[in-house]
């Protein structure tokens, strides 16, 4: 769920940059690099806050400086955060391996062709239509394939989620 929430800026960028209607003569805008201008650090922090409010909002309230955080809550949340950050870091490193990355891109490529129902056009399509569909497919792969930057954004989301719990969760206080 967190990964899908983090992909919202990429989805918006994908929808804005890739027109689908070939019959109207609308071509894909040429982009030298696929860098969503809506994503990044600020969205990851905001998404962590949204998830924290969604799952723990009923326990949130403001506290004074005298209220201390329970020791067992700190240990439990530190262990959970450490394991999550470690798993995301390992996943990010594994995704940098070209074989894993290319296999994942192939799976997304097949998913795109099945989902968009363009697979049947490829066998009878002209060269221009085939190039258009292939370009849209490559934008789709770039937008949705997990990579190191997306894993780092998930780590930022996890840390902002935990920070919100430490600041406002009533279950953390004595």
pLDDT tens per residue, range 24-58:
454 555 544 445 544 577 888 888 899 888 888 88
DSSP conformational letter for 68? P
80-127 tens-digit pLDDT: 999 998 988 888 888 878 888 788 888 888 888 888 777 777 777 777
pTM for this predicted structure: 0.70
- Residues 133-171 have pLDDT tens digits of 777 787 788 778 787 778 888 888 889 988 888 888 888
Task: Please say whether the dihedral angle defined by the alpha carbons of residues 122, 126, 127 and 132, taken in this order, is positive or negative.
Answer: negative
Closest C-alpha to 14, from 29, 26, 25, 24? 29
CA distance 41 to 38: 10
| Burial zone of 10 (CB within 10 Å; 0-12 exposed, 13-18 middle, 19+ buried) | buried
């Amino acid at each position: 769920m967190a990964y899908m929430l983090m992909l919202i800026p990429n989805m918006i960028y994908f929808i804005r940059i890739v027109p689908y209607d070939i019959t109207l003569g609308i071509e894909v805008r040429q982009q030298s690099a696929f860098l969503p201008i809506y994503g990044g650090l600020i969205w990851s922090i905001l998404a962590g806050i949204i998830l924290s409010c969604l799952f723990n909002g009923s326990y949130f309230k403001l506290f004074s400086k005298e209220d201390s955080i329970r020791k067992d809550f700190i240990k439990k949340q530190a262990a959970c955060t450490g394991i999550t950050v470690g798993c995301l870091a390992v996943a990010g490193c594994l995704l940098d391996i070209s074989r894993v990355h290319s296999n994942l891109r192939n799976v997304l490529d097949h998913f795109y062709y099945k989902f968009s129902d363009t697979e049947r056009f490829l066998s009878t399509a002209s060269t221009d239509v085939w190039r258009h569909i292939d370009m849209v497919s490559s934008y789709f792969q770039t937008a949705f394939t997990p990579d190191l930057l997306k894993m780092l954004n998930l780590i930022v989301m996890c840390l902002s989620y935990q920070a919100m719990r430490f600041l406002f969760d009533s279950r953390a206080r004595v």
